[in-house]
């Protein structure tokens, strides 16, 4: 049985999440693998070693059959439709810009931010590969609908975040409505089909980024409050990098550099999180 690279990453991620070291030892016994032969000093490294041993000496089918018996509620690779692959050459890379500035919150320059993103993409080498979609005054109930409608590869949220780690969307009346890291993580677990990268251009969004990175390859969050100017500068550098075919890691570094170039003291505020086993330097969208 052959698994694609993305499926192998998903397999390792789920074994590490759903089995502790003692359970991993019992699993090795069932598979006829010596637990002591697993390389690595960490749990994640031992999981990786087990999968590699199964690929070489047993079969992945035996491993998956055992995993399904032990954790039948988990969606293991091969249980359902295969995940959507990264964009193929010639296809459009959809960026979904979600914005929220509820009543009673400090005004943000959201229009300037999305205009800057659009401008940097239009001036980029691979401008024809990108399609920018927008959803403003985003209500909590709009999040799922927008992901389903646009099936984006990049999701960009611009708005407010709280020191407790919540993101602030709008309710039906346009007033602030907090969304927790756990809740948004659940959304991306269900609707991660095409999404390769999420950018949370909001204050104190690092906790949200950490939760989403369990499901999505690359996620940018902010470790503390960030000014409008720095948020816009980061977006300018980041999307310029993507538009010229650079990796998410390089685009992230360019976003930070743009803040520095403008003389603002917030270059260290953006933080990049990645899914287990994912190297942001290898994730290229264009």
Catalogue all structural domains in the chain, each as residue range(s) with its CATH number.
5-70 (no CATH), 93-282 (3.40.50.1460)
DSSP 41: S
Tokens of 264: 């603002």
Q: Is 93 helix (H, G, I), strand (E, B) or coil?
A: strand
Pairing outcome for strands 218-222 and 197-201: parallel
pLDDT value of residue 4: 73
What residue ranges in the chain does DSSP mark as E strands? 93-99, 130-135, 154-158, 160-161, 167-170, 176-179, 197-201, 218-222, 270-274
pLDDT value of residue 79: 59
For the chain (286 residues), the mean pLDDT of every run of 10, in chain order, is 74 90 87 82 87 74 85 74 52 94 96 97 95 96 94 97 95 96 92 92 96 94 97 98 96 97 97 91 89
Tokens of 142: 């709009």
Contact 136, 151 (CB under 8 A): no
* Nearest in space to 197 (alpha carbons), one of 154, 255, 236: 154
Residue 110, C-beta contacts closer than 8 angstroms, at least 6 positions apart:
99, 101, 136, 158, 159
Cα dihedral sign for 220, 84, 56, 19? positive
pLDDT value of residue 100: 97
């Amino acid at each position: 049985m052959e698994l694609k690279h993305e499926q192998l990453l998903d397999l390792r991620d789920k074994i590490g999440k759903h089995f502790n070291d003692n359970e991993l030892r019992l699993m090795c016994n069932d598979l006829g693998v010596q637990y002591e032969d697993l390389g690595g000093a960490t749990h994640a490294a031992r999981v990786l070693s087990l999968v590699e041993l199964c690929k070489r000496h047993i079969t992945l089918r035996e491993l998956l059959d055992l995993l399904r018996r032990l954790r039948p509620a988990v969606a293991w690779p091969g249980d359902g439709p295969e995940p959507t692959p990264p964009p193929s050459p010639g296809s459009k890379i959809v960026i979904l810009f979600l914005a929220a500035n509820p009543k009673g919150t400090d005004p943000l320059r959201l229009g300037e931010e999305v205009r800057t993103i659009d401008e940097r993409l239009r001036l980029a080498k691979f401008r024809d590969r990108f399609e920018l979609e927008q959803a403003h005054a985003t209500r909590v109930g709009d999040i799922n609908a927008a992901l389903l409608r646009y099936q984006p590869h990049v999701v960009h949220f611009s708005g407010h975040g709280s020191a407790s780690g919540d993101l602030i969307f709008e309710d039906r009346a346009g007033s602030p409505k907090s969304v927790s890291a756990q809740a948004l993580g659940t959304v991306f677990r269900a609707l991660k089909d095409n999404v390769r990268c999420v950018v949370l251009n909001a204050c104190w969004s690092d906790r949200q980024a950490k939760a989403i990175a369990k499901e999505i390859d690359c996620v940018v969050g902010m470790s503390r409050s960030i000014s409008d100017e720095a948020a816009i500068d980061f977006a300018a550098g980041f999307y310029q990098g993507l538009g010229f075919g650079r990796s998410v890691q390089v685009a992230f570094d360019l976003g930070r550099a743009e803040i520095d170039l403008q003389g603002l003291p917030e270059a260290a505020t953006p933080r990049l999180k990645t899914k287990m086993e994912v190297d942001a330097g290898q994730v290229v969208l264009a």
